[in-house]
């Protein structure tokens, strides 16, 4: 067994590999860029080597620097994680030639299956059912349009070296095919250093189901059941689960056996995933093979009781697989939510900056632990006070739960999301909560178009209806009463000026443009020692018990005998006196004040924000790649204004209306903040 391994990656996956290596008694080496010098994975590793500037093409994508770090530290093996160089056959070959063990498949297997064009040719030759398309690289956008017409719209334009939703566009007409080719080529070049793209038919209403497998150097390959990955947004997975609520045992067996057959054909050893598009009738088509560990591997670990990272390391060290196909278990139901640094209420634009608060829910399952299951696990590469840089992927953490069945897993996930505290950057937790509560998701009736169909006009606060809005108002009043009770108990108060906690309050739910709602609330039977009270909101009554402290953001307790987890925080960006209450993805900002204060508050005029309609504002933090207009230029609605790059994705800003450019306020290459003006119209 290896004594020391280097992890050629960063963030959450680097932390994940370090955890299993420590369990196995193996020393670890991290490599890091300037942006990651204080990152969690650097602190967890036994050694760390600096490899360059923040952009990945100057650090994590420079294979020579990583190999040099292996030699410098004496690392015998290298784990590539996922992304970056994990599926680069030339890099894997060079690592092997330098006498370092690559903890992954052999370079020839990777070359055959990691390249999406070559893998389709090989699969077709092996008689595997493939999706119609052109499996050779396309040299121009005009050619892409010509091929797309021949196949028939819609088509999918994909980067050959792509992954993680990067370098992928769906086109429904000639214009989208033309523009999609250009965007895919640019994204692929920036993310993978390989700008080849190809075109294939886009199967409508498909399921995206993948088979996890692992092989050793003795020719043994087993499949570890499937993962359902159909809940996707812009071709990036949002929620993954295992098993799939859709396929039958017969389909599972057929897909698994076909995946194994394909792996054996290329002498595959290590962990890998064969992805399939599955139709309504459970017919399935080979899509691609990911020759690496997947982001969503924890759900497979939960239902099988296996540590996939450990198996990868053991296979790379020359050991045989410790299990046969008959030994593979399927126990319970696992689910994973990807917690991303993005603002779901601003069209999921990236959100970067410092994590002012990062407090995940309590973990009851640990990474690499193959004994404790049916609980909650958090895989993350960040910590309280850490930074979310704009150079890399937007994922903050992966929240994994394991339940006895699918409904139990959904319930556990909703409660875990309620207790996940993230401040300083926006996260997609409200969106995840809305998905988990959607009737079609709960029933298992969905496909890869689920999010596009149900949130066609973006995601808004009203898309997260709370099943009992009065509870959130009651909780706000309970927390306020607790605070007043503490204030009343402080000694040394002047006679006649002591704080009166009171029982009658008005909860003012703060709405847009001053459209506030005033709700009378009565709090009685308050008992500070037990942290309990009865709260009446209209006709509804709530017995709330909670021992959470006043300054706790995460509030746990019971309401009418049922357990709850919610978040209550003092001060909002617009009002330092307000309380922000979050539960089941829903958020309200409220003032809890006396009835007399509420009467006076209702008389306050609304102060409208300044009119910014003449400006094109940066909707997110990022790098200004291009400004496409000049002073004095006439611009029509829908015309391209600027391009911003953040978290490896290009974001194009278009004019909302016709106008003439008065000023260009930001220059190419400038780092922008949220709502920073770029262009002003005359």
668-681 confidence digits (pLDDT tens): 999 888 889 999 99
Task: Please say if the pLDDT value at position 9 is more than 70.
Answer: yes
* Predicted local confidence at residue 144, as pLDDT: 93
Task: Please say if the pLDDT value at position 164 is more than 70.
Answer: no
Residue 64, sorted as left (phi over 0), alpha (psi -120 to 50) or beta, turns out to be: alpha
Supply the pTM of this predicted model.
0.84
At residue 479, the 3 state secondary structure works out as: helix
Backbone angles phi, psi at 176, to 5 degrees: -70, -35
pLDDT digits (tens, 9 = 90+) for 103-137: 999 999 999 987 777 787 888 777 777 887 777 88
Taken as a whole, the chain contains a residue count of 682
Task: Please say if the pLDDT value at position 42 is more than 90.
Answer: yes
CA distance 673 to 479: 35
Average pLDDT over residues 337-365: 92
Strand 586-593 with 634-635, pairing: unpaired
Cis peptide preceding 615, ω within 30 of 0: no
Average pLDDT over residues 566-595: 93
Q: How far is CA 24 from each of CA 10, 70, 174, 238, rounded to the nearest angstrom?
A: 20, 19, 54, 31
* Predicted local confidence at residue 161, as pLDDT: 81
Half-sphere exposure of 347 (CA within 13 A, CB side): 8
* Predicted local confidence at residue 457, as pLDDT: 87
The domains of the chain, with CATH numbers, are 4-103 (3.40.50.20), 132-201 (3.30.1490.20), 207-449 (3.30.470.20), 469-488+501-601 (3.30.700.30), 615-681 (2.40.50.100)
Task: Give the pLDDT band of residue 465 (cuts 50, 70, 90).
Answer: confident
Verify whether residue 288 is a known catalytic residue.
yes
Strand 155-163 with 77-79, pairing: unpaired
CA distance from start to end of the chain: 69
Strand 27-33 with 4-7, pairing: parallel
Please report which helix (H) or strand (E) contains residue 564, including its range: strand 562-570
Percent helix, strand and coil across the chain, each to the nearest 5: 30, 30, 40
**Chain mean pLDDT for the chain:** 92
Which of the following is catalytic: 87, 176, 187, 288? 288
CA distance 515 to 649: 37
Which is nearest to 548 in space by CA: 534, 532, 537?
A: 532
pLDDT digits (tens, 9 = 90+) for 232-249: 998 889 999 999 999 999
Average pLDDT over residues 441-460: 93
Average pLDDT over residues 169-183: 93
Backbone angles phi, psi at 479, to 5 degrees: -65, -40
Task: Please say if the pLDDT value at position 66 is more than 70.
Answer: yes
* Predicted local confidence at residue 490, as pLDDT: 86
CA distance 156 to 168: 7
Average pLDDT over residues 175-179: 94
Backbone angles phi, psi at 392, to 5 degrees: -125, -170
Strand partners, 422: 358
How would you write 124-174 as a 3-class SS string?
HHCCCCECCEECCCCCCHHHHHHHHHHHCCCEEEEEEEEECCEEEEEECCH
Q: Residues of 655-673 as b/e, b for ≥16 C-beta within 10 angstroms?
A: beeebebeebebeeeeebe
Total H helices, total E strands in the chain: 17, 39
Four-residue CA torsion sign, 52, 26, 267, 261: negative
* Predicted local confidence at residue 648, as pLDDT: 67
The token pair that represents 21 in the structure block: 């290596």
Task: Give the pLDDT band of residue 351 (cuts 50, 70, 90).
Answer: confident
Which is nearest to 288 in space by CA: 87, 153, 94, 141?
A: 87
Which has more confidence, 642 or 550?
Answer: 642
Task: Please say if the pLDDT value at position 529 is more than 80.
Answer: no
Task: Please say if the pLDDT value at position 163 is more than 80.
Answer: no
Task: Please say if the pLDDT value at position 231 is more than 80.
Answer: yes
Find out whether 86 and 272 touch, Cβ atoms under 8 Å. Answer: no
Average pLDDT over residues 148-155: 90
Strand partners, 170: 156
Task: Please say if the pLDDT value at position 204 is more than 80.
Answer: no
Four-residue CA torsion sign, 304, 207, 416, 164: positive
Task: Enumerate the H helices of 152-283 as residue ranges.
Answer: 174-192, 249-265
Which has more confidence, 350 or 142?
Answer: 142
Task: Please say if the pLDDT value at position 574 is more than 90.
Answer: no
Which is nearest to 296 in space by CA: 269, 270, 334, 325?
A: 334
Q: How far is CA 379 from each of CA 30, 365, 502, 542, 565, rounded to the nearest angstrom?
A: 17, 10, 45, 36, 21
* Predicted local confidence at residue 316, as pLDDT: 98
* Predicted local confidence at residue 296, as pLDDT: 97
């Amino acid at each position: 067994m290896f004594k020391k391994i280097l992890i050629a990656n960063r963030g959450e996956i680097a932390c994940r590999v370090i955890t299993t290596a420590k369990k196995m008694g193996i020393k670890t080496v991290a490599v890091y860029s300037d942006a990651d010098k204080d990152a969690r994975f650097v602190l967890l590793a036994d050694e760390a080597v600096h490899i360059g500037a923040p952009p990945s093409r100057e650090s994590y994508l420079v294979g020579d620097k990583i190999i040099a770090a292996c030699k410098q530290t004496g690392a015998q093996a290298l784990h590539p994680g996922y992304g970056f160089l994990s599926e680069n056959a030339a890099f894997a070959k060079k690592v092997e030639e330098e006498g370092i063990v690559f903890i992954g498949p052999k370079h020839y297997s990777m070359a055959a299956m990691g390249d999406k064009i070559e893998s389709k040719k090989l699969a077709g030759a092996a008689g595997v059912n493939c999706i119609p398309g052109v499996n050779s690289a396309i040299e121009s956008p005009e050619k892409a349009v010509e091929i797309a017409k021949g196949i028939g719209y819609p088509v999918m334009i994909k980067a050959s070296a792509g992954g993680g939703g990067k370098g992928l566009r769906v086109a429904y007409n000639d214009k989208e095919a033309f523009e999609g080719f250009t965007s895919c080529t640019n994204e692929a070049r920036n993310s993978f250093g390989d700008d080849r793209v190809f075109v294939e038919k886009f199967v409508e209403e498909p399921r995206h189901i993948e088979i996890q497998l692992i092989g050793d150097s003795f020719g043994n390959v087993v499949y570890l059941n499937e993962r359902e990955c159909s809940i996707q947004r812009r071709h990036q997975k949002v929620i993954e689960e295992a098993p799939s609520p859709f396929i039958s045992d017969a389909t599972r067996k057929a897909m698994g056996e076909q995946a194994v057959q394909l792996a054996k054909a290329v002498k595959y050893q290590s962990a890998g995933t064969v992805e399939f598009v599955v139709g309504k009738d459970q017919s399935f088509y080979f899509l691609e093979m990911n020759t690496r560990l997947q982001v969503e591997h924890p759900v497979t670990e939960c239902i099988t009781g296996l540590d996939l990272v450990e198996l990868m390391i053991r296979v790379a060290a020359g050991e045989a697989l410790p299990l046969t196909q008959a030994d593979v278990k399927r126990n319970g139901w696992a689910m994973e939510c990807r917690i991303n640094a993005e603002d779901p209420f601003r069209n999921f634009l990236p959100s970067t900056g410092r994590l002012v608060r990062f407090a995940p829910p309590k973990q009851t399952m640990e990474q690499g632990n193959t004994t404790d299951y049916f609980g909650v696990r958090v895989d993350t590469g960040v910590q309280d006070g850490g930074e979310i840089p704009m150079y890399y992927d937007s994922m903050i953490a992966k929240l994994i739960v394991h339940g006895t069945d699918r409904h139990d897993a959904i319930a556990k996930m909703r409660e875990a999301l309620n207790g996940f505290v993230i401040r300083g950057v926006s996260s997609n937790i409200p969106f995840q909560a809305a998905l988990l509560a959607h009737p079609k998701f709960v029933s298992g009736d969905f496909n890869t178009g689920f999010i596009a169909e149900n949130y066609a006009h973006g995601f808004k606060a009203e898309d997260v209806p709370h099943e009992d809005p009065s509870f959130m108002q009651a909780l706000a009043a309970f927390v306020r009463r607790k605070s007043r009770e503490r204030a009343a108990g402080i000694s040394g108060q002047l006679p006649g000026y002591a704080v009166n906690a009171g029982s009658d309050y008005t909860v003012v739910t703060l709405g847009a443009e001053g459209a506030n709602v005033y709700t009378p609330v009565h709090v009685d039977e308050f008992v500070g020692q037990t942290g309990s009270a009865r709260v009446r909101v209209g006709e509804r009554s709530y017995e709330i018990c909670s021992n959470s402290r006043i300054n706790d953001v995460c509030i746990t307790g019971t309401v009418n005998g049922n357990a709850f987890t919610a978040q209550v925080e003092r001060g909002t960006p617009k009002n330092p006196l307000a309380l922000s209450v979050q539960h089941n993805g829903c958020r309200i900002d409220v003032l809890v004040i006396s009835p007399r204060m509420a009467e006076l508050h209702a008389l306050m005029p609304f102060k409208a924000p300044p009119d910014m309609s003449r400006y094109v504002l940066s909707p997110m933090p990022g790098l200004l790649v291009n400004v496409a207009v000049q002073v004095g230029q006439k611009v029509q609605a829908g015309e391209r204004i600027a391009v911003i790059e953040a978290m490896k994705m290009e974001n194009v800003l278009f004019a909302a209306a016709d106008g003439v450019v008065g000023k260009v306020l930001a220059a190419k290459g400038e780092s922008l903040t949220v709502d920073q003006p770029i262009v002003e119209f005359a």
